[in-house]
Structure 1
């Protein structure tokens, strides 16, 4: 790694010297557009104690009229492991800066840590940026004075604090998590805090001011000894498995850092569905069925779970006209797994028996399946007709009446 850095640094130096032979003015023009950029920091000479890591905010700004790709390098004691970082998570070796006002600058963090065997004294680092074409190069010198003993500093906890009432939240898959966080600035001056988070792979997150949900921010200004309320929103991927996911949210201003541990608990989803033969198979009975007074009518009810987790203890019950009978076989399901696991709906046989003296007509019967996690209902329109035996009896009565009339007419005719 050290050899590669030396070769890379040597290449940049040669590129820089070559650029100097053809460029005399620090601001060059390409295709009629002025070019320039700067590297700056608030502190160019700092003092640290033994074992203390150096962290400085460095700002790189594009001052020209065209976009620039800038390659970064650091020269100095390599055993200090100097580097540029962004959002605490990764090392940065090159950046792209636009020429528009809202994207022409970037803040990076210069970090270095003295080795345990380092002796007290002054250590010099040169931070350098060079455009990708080698035409422009800018540098910044930083001196770090290492003391033999630790240098006392005020506790960070007194300077910045992050708190929340609800560090753990539970949501079903597909739902976002929204944490309400308070950021306290504990010093006697206003400061700007960078906001960042370490989140699980595949997740997304953003932060907004508490009362301005439409604004997504990566930094916020907090007045002296004041507190700002933030909303931190976590967005899990659509296919996230059930489980607990840890998230670290942090705020930083200069060397003052505060973090807070959050936990997002993803539960399964539960979606109970009911259907008829016609709805599931494309043929068979619909939600309009026919029955006869006093006779049992068999009806097949289909149910399935469109969620991602099993629905437990599914019971069946009905809402029916007075003196009717409705029964289910089976009467209960101990568990209804997701349809993605079963690959087919579950059948339940429903027996509906209108009362013996039911008047022919339409009646409403409601079937309900209820589990611990979800429930669903279905309405059936039951058309009750008179039994066929009564029809034949009616026909017989009519025939008897007709026969009697014919006999009467014949008798009267002979007279």
Structure 2
């Protein structure tokens, strides 16, 4: 009896070995547990419209090369993915014994989505890797205007440049018209890539930086001014508001002390005029330079040439010594005087009448006297005959 049992056991072992020999193939990926998928992050949190990238290792635990078909499974709609290795999309991959291959999985979260946990599975042969993405907020299908800084302060007549980001949070390319609603006298212009624009085109789920240049009117009163801006089309729109705080205004005037706009001068002579420079704004002006535009070969000297500082409502006196060209012909000449600071400038125009030189007057008198003497001499000589 024992001998019969031993014979049956040997026969069973022999049959088992023969079955194993016939079923074994080199490089086969059929063996269970030979492959493993690994990534350190199994659950991630993402926002609507965000892209997530997983780095996955496919590890061959066996002593032979393994072949594996790659697949990605999900029950969720509108999610897009890209499963690659070495930057290429593959359906089957080979892994050497006790080696690994790197895979990359990119998941794009839909823009229009509800909060919750979303599960996915990556498979390689018999190995599988479950992944979970947690969406914490409800997705939108709209556009967004974001300002880097929404408030600036400065003086009347100044320029203010705001930086804004326009985001197209839709699944389609959008062309937006740009508009602003400033108060009367204010100017608003939009810039993109250093060019003035009235519209921009943005790809799906993309953004573009837009500069908003605001020019405050001259003499506008101090205060806070809000300017709505918008980007819109028939499908979507985005709105924002910028604020400019005016803390004062720059203004400057220059005129002669007697407010006359004309004077006279002899050819080659000089004339001194007094100019009054006044700060008519509400902010101080610094380093005001006084200069002139004159006829050819004329000269003007100013004293002082620079006014270091001028407070609002204050005036400063400037003496201008005008010297005309000695060859100037009699007549009217135009010249201008300018007071200029970094913030503001003002001009005064003059008409200068040039009269004949005194020397020529005396020469004329001498000629007339000589003619009279000559005529008198002729009368005396020939009158007696």
The structure with more strand, counted as a fraction of residues: 2
Instruction: Answer whether TM exceeds 0.5 for this pair.
Output: no
With the length of structure 2 as denominator, give the TM-score of the two structures: 0.43
Q: Name which one, 1 or 2, has greater alpha-carbon Rg.
A: 2
